[in-house]
Amino acid sequence: MPHPKKKTTKAARNQRRSHHALKKVTLIKCEKCGKPVKPHHACASCGYYKKKEVINVLKKLPRKKRVKIEKKKKKIEEKESKREKIDKS
């Protein structure tokens, strides 16, 4: 088995390892739900990217959770429609 010809100095070792440090992950807020997301990636919680739905998140959830979320969305839509009717009149 080969052995190093000369001892690696601490300076040489540390200079080699200078690029091994972890870099801070850049995160932005999702435009739809406000959760942190990597730039140029679809949001895992709502499935939106650039104001368009690219992933159907509800489809991947179990049925019980999916129904619960759909009911919440329906209530929100009903409230918005009521507000629009009030604003028009």
**Average pLDDT per 10 consecutive residues for the chain, totaling 89 residues:** 92 96 93 91 89 84 84 85 79
| 5 domain-assigned | no
Same-domain status, 67 and 84: yes
Could you give the count of Cα atoms lying within 13 Å of 71 in the half-sphere of its Cβ? 6
Per-residue pLDDT, 57? 80
Q: How far is CA 78 from CA 58, 84, 89, in A?
A: 20, 10, 17
Q: Which range marks the domain in which residue 43 is found?
A: 25-55
| 47 domain-assigned | yes
Amino acid at 74: K
| 8 domain-assigned | no
Do residues 78 and 84 lie in contact, with contact meaning Cβ atoms separated by under 8 Å?
no
Q: How far is CA 50 from CA 28, 33, 40, in A?
A: 12, 12, 9
> If we measure between CA atoms, which residue out of 83, 56, 84, 50 comes closest to residue 69?
56
The number of folded domains in the chain is: 2
Same-domain status, 80 and 69: yes
Same-domain status, 51 and 63: no
